[in-house]
Amino acid sequence: DAAAVPPSAPAAPRAAAHLYPDADREAALLHRAATSSPLAVDRLRHLCDVIGPRLSGSAGLERAVAWAERTLREDGLEVRLQPVMVPRWVRGEESLELVAPRRARLPLLGLGNSVGTPPDGITAEVVVCRDFDELAAQADRVPGRIVLFDAAMPPYDPDRGAGYGPTVVYRTAGASRAAALGAVGCLVRSVTATSLATPHTGMLRYESGKPQIPAAAVTTEDADMLRRLTEAGETVAVTLRMDARFEEDAPSANVIADIPGRELPDEVVLISAHLDSWDVGQGAHDDGGSCVAVMTAMTLLREAFGPSRRTIRAVLFTNEENGLRGSRDYINGHSGEIAGYQVAIEADSGTYRPLGFTAPAANDEASTRVRRRIERLAAHLAPFGAGRLRDGGGGADIGPMAAFGVPLLGLDVEGDRYFDIHHTHADTFDKVDPEDLRACTWALAAAARLLAEMPERLIAE
């Protein structure tokens, strides 16, 4: 609180760092409210245990949409649903059996959007490669075989992060690259550095004009074993069975809730997460915890302050995991107003302890000006451990808003455990620390309030 600064202290530099005079006091008020509230934990328990997994097109997702709308409306917020037609991919029954040099059932998860196999499955020898260069070097062995991409994700590094991006490319693009050389199926090493025989699913993308072959993830342990067998000169063969298929698109919706601004209602501060999840586990960290943090932040903001200078909007996007249609339809439906937004913030990295935000890098005069204002926000969050800024931006749902000139932020949390359970049966309520969840709720509420209440626009000259 600026009023607590002793008269003899050099007040000018500290005052210059403020977004506005009451920012420290309001950040502290929200911290007390968020860290003492049971709402976020209670809501996540309901979302995980009562509603469960929420794949696009499923009854679970639509129960979640109805629940989120009802909950936000009961909290006194202005709520509406934006209809979105989403893809309905059905996993069906699936199995993987090692048939040579011995017989064994291997855990697997089909990749999202994959096609299925014939009813009797596909039995074929396995070609193992670490990357696309090794695939090309073995091109003559690929026709009629199943390709395994054994690309190991490196252990988490505090400076470089998880190494997800360079590894996940084999999950998203591997099937088409293998099919182009005549492969009849594709397996990928699960995108994780830590495993207890746990396969990780996720979306693939088929290239236009390439054959579509079934694709699934295997555990890191089995990927290692299959590589060892081939390196020892053994003939390795498996039978892959997948009932995966697309059915007709299904109705869903983005859930949108507003606290209208008292002075500048068109300058929206948007906080967001995605309500859908994969069909395994409970979608607790991805992205249920962030959804309830966004919801509860809105409740706390309305109760603590009422309207801010600008509108604060929560968006719970549908269909982030396997289509991004919620993002597409939101942007198409609001394209006339997005350029006037103050900021868009996305939370989609799990609800571990918040460290700060990812923010646009300072590359020119305009981006440097935005970055310096975000640094002032970070200074108000730093006393509570969330003042770190890293270069980056928002996530997949808000990413297209950058084309409208909107500054994008992402909630930045401790990332060393996220990919241990990402897209697995293990992403369940018990993996979320209640204290961390409440802290994420505070970080989103504080950032939203301070950026909505500051006098100037982030992008103002």
φ/ψ (deg, to 5) at 34: -70, -45
**Which of 62, 320, 321, 346 is the catalytic position?**
320
What count of other Cβ atoms lies within 10 Å of the Cβ of residue 28? Answer: 15
Rounded-to-integer distance, Cα 262 and Cα 264, Å: 6
Find residue 255's DSSP bridge partners.
Answer: 81, 316
111: tokens are: 């990749």
d(CA 255, CA 120) in angstroms, rounded, equals: 42
Classify strands 237-242 and 94-100 as parallel, antiparallel or unpaired: antiparallel
C-alpha–C-alpha distance, residues 64 and 242, integer Å: 28
Asked about 320 being catalytic, the answer comes back as: yes
CA-to-CA distance for 172 and 206, rounded, in angstroms?
8
CA distance 196 to 421: 10
Lay out the sheet containing 185-189: strands in order across: 104-106, 94-100, 237-242, 122-129, 146-149, 185-189, 215-218, 108-110
Calpha distance 332→254 (Å, rounded): 13
Helix/strand/coil for 290: helix
The pair of structure tokens assigned to 350 is 């799990």
Q: What residues act catalytically?
A: 320
